[in-house]
Chains A and B, each alone.
Chain A
Amino acid sequence: MDTKTLIQEAKARFNHNSAKAYLKDKYDSKLIVAEQGGLWKATPELISFLYNSTDSHVVILDNYSNPVKVNREQLHVTLRKTYDFVMEQWHNEWKQLESKR
């Protein structure tokens, strides 16, 4: 018996909350990047900070709370690329799952 038939016969309901949690588990970790001696998560806040600063080098606390002096522009580019790529994938998979009833 294939999975679709099994789901139909069991009258199983798609659980959107669990699907949301699964996607968060899957994609949150993909936002983590190791660069310039620190570990970073590509969040909108950090990306905005890097974008709006004017100095070429800034000191930021990384995920382990270590202060790391980074090349601002370089880290901004990496995190922005990572964020856009991962969030696009996350959104696409969410749209697919949301269409399930």
Chain B
Amino acid sequence: METTRKQTMRGVLLFAFNTDKVDYYKMAINTAKRANKFLDLPVTVITDESTDLTKYDYKFDNVIIRPANKDNLKGKDIWINKGRYQAYELSPYDETLLIDTDYLINSDKLLTIFDLYDDFMCHNTTSIIMVPDDPQEKLGLNMPNSLWATVIAFKKTPKVKMIFDCMQMVQENYNHYVNLYNFFSATYRNDYSLTIALKIVNGQSEDASYYIPWNLVHVAKNTYVYRDTDTEYTVLYDHWNRGKIKKEYITIKDMDIHLLNKDNYMELIDE
């Protein structure tokens, strides 16, 4: 008798809602190209109807149109980052890598997560390039380390659904959780709603198996990245010392980085 075995579909999911200042769709295309190249995975993008899908010459495997929630400000600018909890429902994949568009994929390292995780993983530790001793970000005073929604790997299981449902609950009642956990944040952050949601789902206990066992590597805003080759970059840093700036640099290769400076990211995009 012939039997068929359903193949597990793995893929990358990106959220890209353009604002007046940042072309997140263009960033998503760059991330998708690099996901295709380094991870050999299909990519789905979630965007809104204002995005001109014909503007750039790249075809996503899937495009999902959803209304943009513009109810969040970062400084004076609109930041459309709400609704990330929909990833569970909208992902067409059995196993999904949900990645921020400002995460520069520069190796195949993310594929390792598929061998390591049960059904959900995210980063709980970070390091900052050129600032080796920077402390971990905490949710608030005397609170645990913040988790990072920059890279989330998940399968579609009942427990993972609870995590994303809980992120929705935190987003919809954000001020309540700001008061409850006693942290300061006028701006809604997915990192914080993820931190709170995972704590609630895990009964306020720590479970290391949910954490990616390496650091999320940030490039801070006072650091500039220059492209040498497709996988090699020079990182230039202004080191303030006794009122003077010393320029310092290192070169990096074959390592993923998370660029906090969106303008810098745009300059690294292959045309």
Are these two chains actual partners, yes or no? yes
Q: What are 10 A-to-B residue pairs whose CB atoms are below 8 Å? A: A12-B248, A18-B131, A22-B217, A25-B215, A25-B217, A26-B255, A29-B112, A39-B213, A64-B208, A97-B250
Whether A15 pairs with B130 at a CB distance below 8 angstroms is: yes
Whether B250 pairs with A22 at a CB distance below 8 angstroms is: yes
* Chain A, range 12-41, C-beta contacts under 8 Å to B: 12-15, 17-22, 25-26, 28-30, 32, 34, 39
Interface of A is mostly: helix
Instruction: Report the Cα distance A39→B237, complex, angstroms.
Output: 36
Give min CB distance, A93 to chain B, whole Å: 8
Task: Give the bracket for the number of chain B residues in contact with chain A.
Answer: 20 to 34
Give min CB distance, A39 to chain B, whole Å: 6
Contact with A along B164-191 (1 / 0, CB 8 A): 0000000000000000000000000000
Contact with A along B225-254 (1 / 0, CB 8 A): 011100000101101000000111111111
Contact with B116, one of A19, A22, A34, A100 (Cβ below 8 angstroms): A34
Instruction: Report the Cα distance A49→B8, complex, angstroms.
Output: 37
Binds B, one of A2-10, A52-60, A68-76: A2-10
Number of A-B residue pairs, CB cutoff 8 Å, is 81
Q: Provide the residues of chain B in CB contact with A65, threshold 8 Å.
A: 208
Give min CB distance, A25 to chain B, whole Å: 5
With an 8 A cutoff between CB atoms, is A63 at the interface? yes
With an 8 A cutoff between CB atoms, is A11 at the interface? yes
Whether B249 pairs with A14 at a CB distance below 8 angstroms is: yes
Whether B226 pairs with A6 at a CB distance below 8 angstroms is: yes
Give min CB distance, A10 to chain B, whole Å: 5
Instruction: Report the Cα distance A97→B250, complex, angstroms.
Output: 8
Q: Provide the residues of chain A in CB contact with B228, threshold 8 Å.
A: 3
